[in-house]
């Protein structure tokens, strides 16, 4: 299993902090430490002693001869007395599948998939941003249309209006023509 996960290890991408955290939280919520430990240790690999489950350490770089690996289901954590590693379910996944500390979000994603859970969807802020960008694009398009409209007006209509000598009539005709022209181009 270890080699498969390491081979498939996706390249680290820069997500925003919020996505990292959501995925890690989702994995912790969805998978109990003892569930992953049980899968890593294999059938009969863990036995119950008091409040804890104990077995030989399943982490790949620890050849554990005596059972040093413990899981406390109440606290939802593991600790190995041999290699002195411990932590929550994401930490266990990270150590088991060879991800470093900065790749905890990837370990969390693998963990969710491994246990058949969906990855958290994009945060709502992502959709808000998309909408904002869409609105921005629409605003830019409208500005471009207005510029084209004004330039056409200047080129096609304005010379005719500028022939009017009476100032008042010129102003009135200019306003009327501009309104008509905009209406035509809508
Ligand atoms: Zn260990």
Among 75, 84, 44, 76, CA closest to 54: 44
What pLDDT score was predicted for residue 154? 85
What pLDDT score was predicted for residue 9? 46
Residue 14 predicted with pLDDT over 60: no
pLDDT tens-digit series, residues 51-107: 999 999 999 999 999 999 999 999 999 999 999 999 999 999 999 999 999 999 999
Among 77, 81, 86, CA closest to 66: 81
Q: Which residues surround the ion ligand 1 when the cut-off is CB under 5 Å?
A: 57, 59, 62, 80, 82-83
CA distance 5 to 136: 42
Q: How far is the CA of 157 from the centre of ligand 1 (A)?
A: 84
Global pTM? 0.58
Assign 185 a pLDDT band (cuts: 50, 70, 90). low
What pLDDT score was predicted for residue 17? 47
Among 117, 74, 72, CA closest to 92: 72
Q: How far is the CA of 34 from the centre of ligand 1 (A)?
A: 15
Lowest mean pLDDT among 43-52, 54-63, 163-172: 163-172
The HSE-up count of residue 162 (CA atoms within 13 Å, CB side) is 7
What pLDDT score was predicted for residue 83? 96
Phi, psi dihedral angles at 46 (to 5 degrees): -115, 140
What pLDDT score was predicted for residue 16? 47
Q: How far is the CA of 83 from the centre of ligand 1 (A)?
A: 4
CA distance 65 to 153: 88
Q: What is the mean pLDDT of the chain?
A: 85
What are 17's two structure tokens?
Answer: 């902090």
Assign 23 a pLDDT band (cuts: 50, 70, 90). confident
Q: How far is the CA of 22 from the centre of ligand 1 (A)?
A: 28
CA distance 80 to 56: 9
Q: How far is the CA of 84 from the centre of ligand 1 (A)?
A: 6
Among 49, 52, 116, 50, CA closest to 86: 52
Q: How far is the CA of 177 from the centre of ligand 1 (A)?
A: 84
More confident of the two residues 86 and 159: 86
Q: How far is the CA of 118 from the centre of ligand 1 (A)?
A: 30
What are 116's two structure tokens?
Answer: 């058949």
pLDDT tens-digit series, residues 107-118: 998 999 889 888
What are 31's two structure tokens?
Answer: 């998978």
Strands (E), 60-169: 69-72, 77-80, 86-87
């Amino acid at each position: 299993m270890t080699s498969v996960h390491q081979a498939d290890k996706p390249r680290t991408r820069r997500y925003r902090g919020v996505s990292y955290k959501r995925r890690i939280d989702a994995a912790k919520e969805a998978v109990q430490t003892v569930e992953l430990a049980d899968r890593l240790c294999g059938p009969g690999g863990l036995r119950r002693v008091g409040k804890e489950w104990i077995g030989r350490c399943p982490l790949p770089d620890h050849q554990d001869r005596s059972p040093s690996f413990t899981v406390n289901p109440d606290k939802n954590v593991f600790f190995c007395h041999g290699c002195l590693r411990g932590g929550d379910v994401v930490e266990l996944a990270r150590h088991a599948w060879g991800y470093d500390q900065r790749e905890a979000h990837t370990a969390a994603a693998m963990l969710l998939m491994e246990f058949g859970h969906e990855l958290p969807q994009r945060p709502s802020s992502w959709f808000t941003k998309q909408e904002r960008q869409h609105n921005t694009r629409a605003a830019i398009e409208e500005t471009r249309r207005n510029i084209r409209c004004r330039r056409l007006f200047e080129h096609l209509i304005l010379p005719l209006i500028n022939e009017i000598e009476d100032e008042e009539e010129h102003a009135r005709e200019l306003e009327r023509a501009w309104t008509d022209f905009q209406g035509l181009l809508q």
